[in-house]
Structure 1
Amino acid sequence: MTARREEQASRRAMGTWLSGTQMPGGENNDYRGQDLGLPESGVGSLSTGWQRVLGLLVDWLLSYGIALLIVGWGSNIGTSVLIVWFVIGVLTVTFFGFTPGQYITGMRVARVDHGAERGAEEAAGEVPRAAVGPVRALARQVMISFVVPALINDYNGRAMHDRATGTALVRTR
């Protein structure tokens, strides 16, 4: 076993308080995202957990502001924030491939199951650009709404909602 693989095996075995529950697999990867055809670092590589949390925070704050403008200060603000966040997530990921928070933090949702289409983009070191589409965007947002899928990660660090929809959050810069 190479030193790099030993180090990765050690990290997986120890885990961290932030890593969440891990799904099995990925033992033959030298880095996160290798089996998805993504680069190890830079543009097109998998986003970090902190980037995802920061992007979600920005989206929630934006949703809160919009909900306040729509319903005002009142008892239904929590439900209104959730509805606004849900609609923003579905629409922006469908049409642009990212939410406002993901854009600000340098991420986008990319399909990682589109096979031969991604070969030329990856060879050029670009972010995969296959459209996520409305069905995947809706499915992702429904699953994220239940929170638990976002806390369970696979060996690549992708949450259950990304794994189920064949997507991943990748870096754009």
Structure 2
Amino acid sequence: MSSRQPRWTQTWLGGVRSAGIDLGHPGERLGLPAEGSGSVSGFGRRIAALLIDWLICTWAITQGLLGIDPTRQGWVPVTILAVEYLLLVGTMGMTFGMRLLGIRVAALGGGQPGFVAVLVRTLLLCLAVPALIWDRDQRGLHDRAANTVVVRL
């Protein structure tokens, strides 16, 4: 018996790309460019933007800017993050963190997503798990449910 593993095992362990299947660049199926403005944003920028937005929300709470007791626990920080996302993504297509990192939320048909799409996306983002499950176009379940994609500016 050969010390080499069967081909199907290598494919299964290494994923479809190891089998020589070209899936194209993220966003190609959506008609988006491979690089530059309008291309799909990477995971790192999206996480960093969320972290910046989270820090802004917690900073606003601890400084007493929102009139909320800083010792209060529970859903208050997540609720403030959700309100920020609803207001900013719903009106400008991006949050403060997204703007700093040069990304925005776009509807699949182009332009800004509608209010219902932003609401669905925000609620699923606050649950965290849907945002951590990605497809090959680097869209989380929250983006798929809202028919949105995060692209570079």
Could you tell me how far apart the structure 2 residues matched to 1:139 and 1:145 are?
10
Q: Residue 15 of structure 2 aligns with which residue?
A: 13
State how far apart, in whole Å, the 2-side matches of 1:11 and 1:49 are: 22
Provide closer, same or farther for how the CA distance between residues 153 and 83 of structure 1 changes in structure 2, counting only shifts above 3 A: same
Deviation at 1:155, TM superposition (A): 1.1
SS in 2 for 1:72: coil
Larger radius of gyration: 2
- Taking structure 1 as the reference length, what is the TM-score of the superposition? 0.72
Q: Which residue of the partner structure matches residue 55 of structure 2? A: 61
Residue 142 of structure 2 corresponds to which residue in structure 1? Answer: 161
- The count of corresponding residues between Structure 1 and Structure 2 is 137
Q: Which one-letter code corresponds to 1:101 in the other structure?
A: G
**Unpaired runs of 5+ in structure 1?**
1-8, 16-26, 115-127
Gap regions ≥5 residues in structure 2: 1-10
Q: Could you say what the CA RMSD is over the residues aligned between the two structures, in angstroms?
A: 2.3
Residue 41 of structure 1, aligned match among 26, 35, 41: 35
Looking at structure 2, the residues matched to 149 and 12 of structure 1 have their Cα atoms a distance apart, in angstroms, of 24
2: distance between equivalents of 1:28 and 1:142?
Answer: 34
Question: 1:111-150 to 2 correspondence within 5 Å?
Answer: 111-112=107-108, 114=109, 128=110, 130-150=111-131
Return closer, same or farther for 1:73/1:152 CA change in 2, 3 Å cut-off. same
Structure 1 residues 110, 33: closer, same or farther in 2, change over 3 A?
Answer: same
CA distance in 2, matches of 1:131, 1:48: 19
Q: Which amino acid counterpart does residue 140 of structure 1 have in structure 2? A: R
- Amino-acid identity (%): 32
8 A contact 1:29–1:35 mirrored in 2: no
User: 1:10 deviation in Å?
Assistant: 9.7
Amino acid at match of 2:41: S
- Relative CO higher for 1 or 2, CA cutoff 8 Å, sep ≥ 6? 1
Runs of 4+ with deviation above 2 angstroms: 9-12
